[in-house]
Structure formats: C-alpha cells, structure tokens
C-alpha cells in the first residue's frame, strides 16, 4: 500500500473525529492535510479520509492507494459487522491482516468493528450506572441506544434489563408521587403547627398571662393588694390586645380604690397616690367620697403644721418654723388650686420671711452682744473720772468746735444745731474738733454781731482732776463708743421689728 500523504507524529491527548474516543499520549496520529483534524490511523483508513463535514478529503482519490483484498472476503466481514458480531469480525480481520497487513479495506473494517464495540460498551456502562442508581428513565435511554450495536445474546440481556426498568418506572413514578404528596402533607402540617403555635403563643399570650395573674389574685391585706396592682400595671405596659388592657385597667381601678379607702386614715399620701390610678369617670361616686376623706385628713395635718410654725416663730426657733411651713406647702401641692385657694401665696411669703429672719439671726445676736460690750466699755471710761458734780446737774454737750472765743472759751455747734459757748479751762481744742463733754450751765455769753448785741448759752466743762491724768483722748474714745452704741441700737430696733413680724398664715 502506498504511503498516505498526511502528517503522522507523536502528540498530546486529542479526540478522534471519527470514533470520538481519546487518542492516547505518544501514539500515532493522522492529521487531515486539508482541515488539520486528528484521527487514529485505523479510523482514518476506515473512513477513507476525513470525517469533518465540508472537508471531504478522501484517501481513495490518491492514485497510489490500492486494495489487494477480494470483494467476497470483504462482504463476509461486512456481514459479521452488520450482524453485530464484532468480536468475530475483529478476529477475521486480524487473521487476514497477518497475510496482508497493509490492506486498507481490512483495516477500515477492523476499525469499524472496534468502534462499534466501543460505542456499545460505553452505552451499556452508562445504562448500568443509571440502573444501579435507580434512575430507570435515563438507563432506558442508554440501553435502547445500545441495542443498535448488540447481537442476539447481548440484546436478550439488555431486554431483561429493560423489562425490569419498564416494571420499575411506574413504581418509581408512584414513589415520587407519594414522596411529593408526603412532602406536601408534611409542609401543610408544619404550616398548621406554625400557625397554631403563633396563635397560641402570640395571639393568646395576653389572655394566658392575664388569667395567670388573675388566678393568683390576693387582696387579703394591703401588701398583697399593692403587689397585685403592680402585676397588672406591668402586664398593661406590654399587652398588645386592647381588650386585655381594658380588663387590666378595670382591675387596677378597683384595687386602687380599695387601697385608697383602707389607707387614708393612716397614710393619706399613699392613699392619694393610689387614688390617682382610679379612673374617676368609671367610679365617680367612690372616687369623690375617697377624695373628700383624703382631703380632710390632709387638712388636719396642714393645720397642725401651721400651728407649729407660728409657735416656733414666736419662740424664735425660725428654722423649725420654716420646716413646718415647707411641710405645709408639701401638703398643699398634693391637691389642686381650688382645695387651698389663696393659701399657696401666703405660705411662700412666710418662707421668704423666715429665710430673712434666719439670715439675720446671727447678726441680731452679734448686735446685742456688741451693745452689751460697748455699754461696759462706756461705764469703764466714766468710772475713771472724778465726780465733782451730781449727775443731775450736768448735761452732755456734743458738737463741732466752730471757733475760739478767748479766755478758755470755745464756740461749739451742738448736734441739735444750737450755738453754745463752752469753757474748757486749760484744755485746748482746735476748730473742727468733735467733742462730747459733760458740762454745767453758767449763764450766757454776750457778744456783738453786726453792731447788735447777742447772747448764747454758756457752759463750763466738767473736767477730771489733773492728778488722775485724764486727757482729751478719753473723751474721743467715749464719743466713738457712744456713736457706735447709737448705731447698734438703731440696728437692734430694726432687727427687733423684723423678728417680731408674725406669719401671714394662721
């Protein structure tokens, strides 16, 4: 046989276009000289060239090709292949190729038998895989395709499998239907359970919790009643259903009214707190009755606080008086304006008054103490003088020196505004000095003023004996003390009036 005009070489893994099986690595490959498609050498010879549609390259057109095999021998092998006896056809080709190993027709028939047996084996393997996995529909498809390549024996085996498949397919369909129905049933049951659970645990949650609280209801004493009210209030805060919130409100109204009625004599404040929880529009008559009783108890305590405040104010205990007034304000604040009309302003005024008294109290005590001290100091200074005249004969001259009249006389303008002449003897005073001296009247001092004779009272200063070392400085000290004493007494008079102010609220 002449050599085929195409490239044959060792190459990587490719797929033969004729038999569609893989070409092993490093095996011989025939490449179509026209479209460069790879083939097994045997497949190339069997197909008499390229199998690609549109290429059409054929080896028979080569003038160098020849066929030395007789036609009747080829017919026999073709018959075996058509009868699907591929093993016998392969064996027949092998035996004849030993005699003519380059015979193209033999190789073509050999490759055709091998190709068919490979296809059959592959289809049967795929069918077996689907059969074993229980996928009978796909198994049936591959087995039916394999029948085109099977002889009588293989066909009987495949047919037995197909009979099993035809029997199992309805069962499989029925099983799938049952499975689908069961799945749907389970889904429906789960949905029903979910809806029922939602209804029970969510929709009926308020009802269950309310009935649980109601079943443990205990109002045998005040403490248990308060606990029960607290439970209903907590329930009301998170209850979603308005129906059960209203029922909780009814319970709270009833129990709060009951507690207020029980507590108002001993603790009207707590009773007032629970009365605020009562809906006055639903329990009008009970609400008004309890509210009146609470008000009367609060009024009693209010009057006691006011009496205490007035008593403490009279005794000078202003802090306690202020505390009593503030307690009275706290009582008043529990009630609306119409209950203590006009009282709030008086109470606030009394608080401001007592705050002023408290703030001035230390000052008041200090003024009294300083007055006592100044009187003592003044007595000590006076005791250092020598008593020459009776106190009934002397008067105190206080004023400013306005001039020197000569002969030991000075003109003094007294604090009363009168002009007098004062004989100070050997004591010298300068114009502008402020003096306070005990004196006795000694007639009048006459002088000419603008051609007119005038006279002013004249006094002689009573001065201590020189042996007692009494100086003018002592008179200054006494004057300062007397002035400070006068100021302190005016302060005390103001503070006395402040401390004696009565409270507005009686």
pLDDT at 221: 83
Distance (Å, whole) CA 503 – CA 314: 9
pLDDT at 7: 41
**Sign of the Cα pseudo-torsion (5, 41, 1, 66, in order):** negative
pLDDT digits (tens, 9 = 90+) for 472-491: 445 667 777 778 888 888 88
pLDDT digits (tens, 9 = 90+) for 44-97: 888 888 887 767 788 765 433 334 445 666 788 888 888 888 888 888 888 888
For the segment 331-348, the average pLDDT, to the nearest whole number, is 84
For the segment 165-179, the average pLDDT, to the nearest whole number, is 75
- Other Cβ atoms less than 10 A from the Cβ of 126: the count is 17
pLDDT at 385: 45
| Contact (Cβ atoms closer than 8 angstroms) between residue 16 and residue 40 | yes
Residue 10 has pLDDT above 60, yes or no: no
> Please, what is the average pLDDT of the chain?
80
SS3 label, residue 449: strand
pLDDT at 327: 92
| β pairing state of 38-39 and 395-406 | unpaired
Whole-model pTM over 0.85: no
List of long-range contacts for 396-399, beta carbons under 8 Å, 24+ apart: 396/436, 396/437, 396/438, 396/439, 397/422, 397/435, 397/436, 397/437, 397/438, 397/439, 397/459, 397/461, 398/434, 398/435, 398/436, 398/479, 399/434, 399/435
- Other Cβ atoms less than 10 A from the Cβ of 209: the count is 17
pLDDT digits (tens, 9 = 90+) for 237-277: 888 778 888 888 888 888 888 888 888 888 898 888 888 88
**Sign of the Cα pseudo-torsion (479, 484, 485, 491, in order):** positive
pLDDT over 90 percentage in the chain:
8
| pLDDT band at 310; cut points 50, 70, 90 | very high
* CA dist 380 → 166, 453, 465 (Å): 146, 44, 17
Question: What are φ and ψ of residue 97, in 5° steps?
Answer: -70, -20
- Residue 260: closest CA among 291, 301, 295, 306: 291
* CA dist 378 → 85, 254, 372, 435, 462 (Å): 160, 78, 10, 16, 17
pLDDT digits (tens, 9 = 90+) for 380-404: 655 444 344 444 457 888 888 888 8
């Amino acid at each position: 046989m002449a050599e085929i005009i195409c490239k044959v070489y060792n190459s990587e893994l490719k797929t033969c276009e004729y038999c569609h099986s893989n070409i092993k690595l490093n095996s011989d490959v025939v490449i179509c000289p026209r479209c460069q498609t790879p083939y097994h050498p045997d497949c190339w010879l069997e197909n008499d060239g390229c199998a690609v549609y549109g290429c059409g390259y054929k080896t028979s057109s080569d003038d160098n090709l020849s066929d030395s095999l007789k036609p009747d021998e080829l017919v026999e092998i073709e018959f075996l292949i058509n009868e699907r006896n591929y093993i016998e056809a392969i064996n027949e080709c092998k035996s004849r190729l030993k005699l003519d190993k380059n015979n193209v027709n033999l190789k073509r028939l050999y490759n055709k038998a091998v190709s068919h047996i490979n296809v059959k084996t592959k289809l049967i393997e795929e069918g077996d895989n689907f059969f074993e996995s229980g996928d009978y529909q796909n198994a049936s498809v591959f087995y039916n395709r394999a029948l085109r390549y099977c002889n009588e024996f293989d066909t009987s085996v495949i047919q037995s499998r197909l009979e099993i498949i035809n029997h199992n397919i309805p069962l499989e369909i029925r099983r799938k239907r049952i499975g689908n129905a069961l799945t749907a049933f389970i889904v429906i049951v789960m949905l029903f359970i979910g809806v029922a659970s939602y209804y029970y645990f969510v929709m009926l949650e308020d009802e269950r919790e309310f009935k649980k609280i109601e079943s443990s209801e205990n109002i045998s004493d005040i403490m248990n009643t308060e606990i029960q009210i607290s439970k209903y209030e907590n329930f009301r805060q998170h209850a979603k259903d308005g129906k059960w919130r209203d029922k909780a409100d009814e319970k709270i109204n009833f129990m709060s009214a009951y507690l207020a009625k029980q507590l108002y004599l001993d603790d009207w404040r707590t009773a007032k707190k629970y009365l605020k929880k009562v809906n006055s529009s639903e329990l009008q008559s009970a609400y008004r009755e309890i509210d009146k009783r609470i008000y009367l108890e609060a009024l009693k305590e209010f009057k006691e606080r006011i009496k205490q405040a007035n008593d403490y104010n009279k005794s000078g205990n202003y802090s306690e008086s202020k505390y009593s007034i503030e307690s009275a304000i706290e009582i008043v604040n529990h009630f609306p304006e119409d209950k203590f009309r006009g009282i709030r302003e008086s109470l606030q005024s009394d608080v401001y008054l007592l705050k002023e008294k408290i703030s001035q109290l230390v000052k008041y005590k200090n003024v009294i103490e300083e007055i006592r001290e100044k009187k003592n100091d003044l007595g000590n200074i006076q005791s250092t003088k020598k008593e020459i005249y009776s106190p009934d004969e002397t008067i105190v001259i206080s004023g400013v020196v306005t001039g020197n009249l000569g002969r030991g006389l000075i003109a003094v303008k007294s604090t009363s505004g009168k002009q007098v002449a004062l004989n100070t003897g050997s004591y010298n005073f300068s114009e502008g000095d402020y003096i306070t001296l005990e004196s006795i009247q000694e007639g009048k001092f006459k002088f000419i003023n603008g051609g007119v004779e005038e006279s002013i009272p004249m006094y002689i200063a009573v001065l201590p004996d020189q042996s007692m070392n009494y100086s003018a400085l002592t008179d200054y000290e006494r004057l300062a003390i007397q002035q400070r004493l006068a100021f302190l007494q005016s302060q005390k008079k103001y503070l006395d009036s402040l401390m004696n102010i009565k409270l507005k609220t009686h």
